[in-house]
Amino acid sequence: MYNRRVVITGLGVVSPIGNDVATFWKNLTEGRSGIQPYTAFPSEGYDCKIAGEVKGIDLVSFFKNPKDARRADRFTHFAMAAAKMALADAGFDASTTNPERVGVMIGSGIGGLQSMEMETKRLYEKGPSRVSPFTIPMMISNMASGLVSMEFGFCGPNMSIVTACATSNNTIGEAWRIIKFGDADAFVAGGTEATVSPLGIAGFASMRALSTRNNEPEKASRPFDKDRDGFVMGEGAGILVIEELEHAKRRGASIYCELVGYGLGADAYHMTSPLPEGEGASRCMQMAMRHAQINANEVDYINAHGTSTPIGDICETKAVKHALGEHAYKVSVSSTKSMTGHLLGAAGGVELAASVLAIKHGIIPPTINLDQPDSECDLDYVPNVAREAKVRVAMSNSFGFGGHNATLIIKEFLG
């Protein structure tokens, strides 16, 4: 039972650089930034005035019942859109599949922050009787996973994991475990986030976590560069369809690649800072490689967590060196957050999709804005220009506040 193989058959992406997989991949490989001055609310008085916003998509159109969309937060809208894209990409017909064997695992680092802000304002301005009866369902982080399951009638395992910026990797990894254990044959899994809002920006800015390069928004997210000054908030969703191999074969699915490894753990160190030498992240990568039954020298590409924070990028560099040894200097590493910004709980889903496409197309997306590498960040970060390369094995890292670490490994599918 535990040797059941798991493959990826569908991708869905809603992001600041594209609201479908093709556009997302084109902009990623062309090194286009999605960071601009935000328009969701006035920036006056805010130290950070830039973000990666999702634009140009009718999110309500992805719901069968428009009323459901009106009763849901923006983070759930993103999830529904990306889930439907992923299922369509996978050619997954819900009506011909046993619904009890299909699960949904969609997480969010923060959940319905915008709804919480709106209803809190209404509470204090107009009184408790004017608060929406849908306030709690709009806020709670599990609602994206719940509403996607209801939309398609999927009755299999359903959860929402919250591990800050490691959320997506944990949801996909735990879905992988459940399939391997035999309790489901397929999952819609990933993450979603909508925190480009007054409280979201103010909260992270007050921690001095955000870039304030407001006069050059497209250059603000610059992982591993010596002039980086913090991350840039992004929003969107990354959802994948993962399936047990024989289940995918029976329905004639087109297979992108195989999901072979998952590692997780905790730093047990600090609320927001990683271990200085990256020991927790390193253990996480090593666990994923053990599960994948691969050696360090087999890893061709790492999609780094790479947030563009002064401490985080150095710690991840150290972690990669510790986990991969000398091969760390030979592997291609890039941070796609340099273009999308940091999608928090949705980051891992979007970045795993990028890693899947790197295997499919033989192109490694770049780390843009890497003009003068930090002396402590001395790996090959694929600076500024995408690289053609055979990618057989890719690793995707996500690390979150609270000391959460999660790594996924995918591999070229050879039958």
Question: pLDDT of 32-52, one tens digit each?
Answer: 999 999 999 999 999 999 999
Higher-confidence position of 105 and 94: 105
Q: Running DSSP on this structure, what letter comes out for residue 127?
A: -
Tell me the pLDDT band of 14, cut-offs 50, 70 and 90. very high
CB distance 352 to 305 below 8 Å? no
Answer yes or no: is pLDDT of 98 > 80. Answer: yes
* Greatest pairwise CA separation for the chain in angstroms: 63
CB distance 189 to 136 below 8 Å? no
Question: pLDDT of 57-92, one tens digit each?
Answer: 999 999 999 999 999 999 999 999 999 999 999 999
Helices within 207-309 (DSSP H only): 245-250, 279-292
User: How many whole angstroms separate alpha carbon 305 and alpha carbon 19?
Assistant: 22
State whether residue 124 is helix, strand or coil.
Answer: helix
What mean pLDDT comes out for the span 266-280? Answer: 96
pLDDT at 1: 60
pLDDT at 226: 98
Closest by CA to 236, choosing from 139, 91, 337, is 337
Q: What is the pTM of this model?
A: 0.97
State whether residue 17 is helix, strand or coil.
Answer: coil
Closest by CA to 241, choosing from 192, 302, 175, is 175
Tell me the pLDDT band of 5, cut-offs 50, 70 and 90. very high
The helix or strand, by DSSP H or E, that contains position 316, with its residue range, turns out to be: helix 310-324
Closest by CA to 347, choosing from 236, 218, 245, is 236
pLDDT at 225: 98
Q: Which residues carry out catalysis?
A: 165, 305, 342
CB distance 210 to 317 below 8 Å? no
- Above pLDDT 70, what percent of the chain? 100
CB distance 212 to 230 below 8 Å? yes
Q: Distances in Å between the alpha carbon of 321 and those of 74, 326, 330?
A: 39, 7, 11
CB distance 339 to 259 below 8 Å? no
Question: pLDDT of 217-271, one tens digit each?
Answer: 999 999 999 999 999 999 999 999 999 999 999 999 999 999 999 999 999 999 9
Tell me the pLDDT band of 361, cut-offs 50, 70 and 90. very high
Question: pLDDT of 402-414, one tens digit each?
Answer: 999 999 999 999 9
Question: pLDDT of 110-124, one tens digit each?
Answer: 999 999 999 999 999
Cα radius of gyration rounded to whole Å, the chain: 20
pLDDT at 2: 74
pLDDT at 138: 97
State whether residue 394 is helix, strand or coil.
Answer: strand
Question: pLDDT of 138-187, one tens digit each?
Answer: 999 999 999 999 999 999 999 999 999 999 999 999 999 999 999 999 99
Q: Distances in Å between the alpha carbon of 306 and those of 126, 165, 274?
A: 43, 12, 13
Q: Running DSSP on this structure, what letter comes out for residue 131?
A: S
- Tokens 């959940």 correspond to 111
Domains and CATH numbers, the chain: 6-250 (3.40.47.10), 261-411 (3.40.47.10)
What mean pLDDT comes out for the span 15-19? Answer: 98
What mean pLDDT comes out for the span 18-22? Answer: 98
Answer yes or no: is pLDDT of 135 > 70. Answer: yes
pLDDT at 415: 83
Q: Name beta bridge partners: 259.
A: 6, 410
First to last CA, the chain: 19
- Above pLDDT 90, what percent of the chain? 98
